[in-house]
Amino acid sequence: MNLYSWNINGISPFVQRTITSFFKPGASGPGHDAVPPASLRDFLSHHDFPTLLFLQEVKINPDDQATRRGVEQAVKRKSDEPLENPEYTVHLSLPKDRFNATGFGRKVYGVCSIVHADFAQVFVERMREVDWDLEGRFSVIETRAYGDVPKLAFFNVYLVNGTDNAYKDSSTGEVVGTRHDRKLEVHRQLEAECRALAAEGFEIIIAGDCNIARSRLDGHPNLRTFPHQHVLNREDFSRRFLGAETRAERPHHEPGDDTTQPGGLGMVDLYRALHPDKREYSYHPRGRPFGSSCDRVDMILCTKMAAASCIEARILATPCDRGPSDHVPIYAAFDFGQQKRSRHSEVST
């Protein structure tokens, strides 16, 4: 099972084939510098038709039916492709909040979950949104257990970016806090949603733009610590989702102090688990040389049983993987049969 996630900062280049300014046509792959065409289908093909592709910040006006149809068309098998190439289903979650998601002609936020049709047919029980978010930041896919694969709940997430800007009640428009306050509330609601699913026997996989850089390793040249609320947001995220956290991972700590902060879901940050000391980044702001100021804010987090089946996790920041966004894709692969095979091998020997 292969999962890709990408904050694409606007889906238009991926559904309008005439937009070529960010791309150079031609074959691409490991060791090549050519950039694949701006097309969702081409991205899927370039990455050997993955099981799941999660997109964030698609920026589709919720009333724009033409672009919705364009996304569905953009993932379809092309007429010149082999018939054995897969089809995909699309699930969009777009903003409905008339007070907090109104800028840029309502072309803000939004996530899109693209699912291999064969996987959907065998595994997926439902695709849904969450009732505590109206900004189009969450898409949830729940699957049934099948063979070696447990029940899974996938969250495609675009978590709130904490700022001092006002956050308004989504029903009345009354200012009830800041975007920092809303970020912390979204953390709380997401944790509660995950706990409820875990109680039903689901393994949880969260993938997307978390708008958090976890530690010094995840920010270059520095980890953001000002204003101080960013530090508090980071600690809240780690406490709720990662569980026990060493103080050495925090921006301010005493040398040798490795005491922990218990609690939380105890999830595993797949990239950091497989690359404990590596410095790679998923967010590269525009207007600066690539790699000069960047953060790892895009992550795939899993509960422990699912994480034990992860065989690979990467950040795809090579020239052939970059596109028109200020983020680059991230990736994880799972083999849910490996634990059974490992146990069988131990018994046999």
Of all residues in the chain, what percent carry a pLDDT higher than 70? 85
Predicted local confidence at residue 32, as pLDDT: 40
22-31, 220-229, 313-322: lowest mean pLDDT where? 22-31
What is the tens place of the pLDDT at every residue in 45-93? 999 999 999 999 999 999 999 999 999 999 999 999 999 999 999 999 9
Mapped onto helix, strand or coil, the DSSP state of residue 288 is coil
pLDDT of residue 243: 79
> Over 70: is that where the pLDDT of 244 sits?
no
- Dihedral angle over CA of 90, 316, 43, 307, nearest 10: -40
Q: Is the pLDDT of residue 255 over 80?
A: no
Alpha-carbon torsion (246, 281, 179, 108), positive or negative? negative
DSSP string, 209-220: E-S---SGGGEE
d(CA 248, CA 213): 15
Per-residue model confidence as pLDDT tens digits over 186-226 = 999 999 999 999 999 999 999 999 999 999 999 999 999 99
Lowest mean pLDDT: which of 24-33, 63-72, 257-266?
A: 24-33
- Written as one string, the DSSP assignment of 95-154 is ---TTTS-TGGG----EEEEEEHHHHHHHEEEEE--TT--SS-EEEEEE--BTTB--EEE
Mean pLDDT value across residues 322-349: 80
In the chain, domain spans: 2-348
pLDDT, mean over the chain: 89
pLDDT in tens, 96-117: 999 999 999 999 999 999 999 9
Q: What's residue 84's pLDDT?
A: 96
Question: Is it true that domain 2-348 has CATH number 3.40.50.720?
Answer: no
In the chain, the percentage of residues whose pLDDT exceeds 90 is: 82
Q: pLDDT confidence of 304, banded at 50, 70, 90?
A: very high
pLDDT band at 27 (very low <50, low <70, confident <90, very high): very low
Q: Are strands 111-116 and 52-56 parallel, antiparallel or unpaired?
A: antiparallel
Cβ atoms 191, 265 nearer than 8 A = yes
Does the pLDDT of residue 94 top 90, yes or no? yes
- Give the relative orientation of helices 229-237 and 179-199 as an angle to the nearest 10 degrees: 0
Band of pLDDT at residue 340, cut at 50, 70 and 90: low
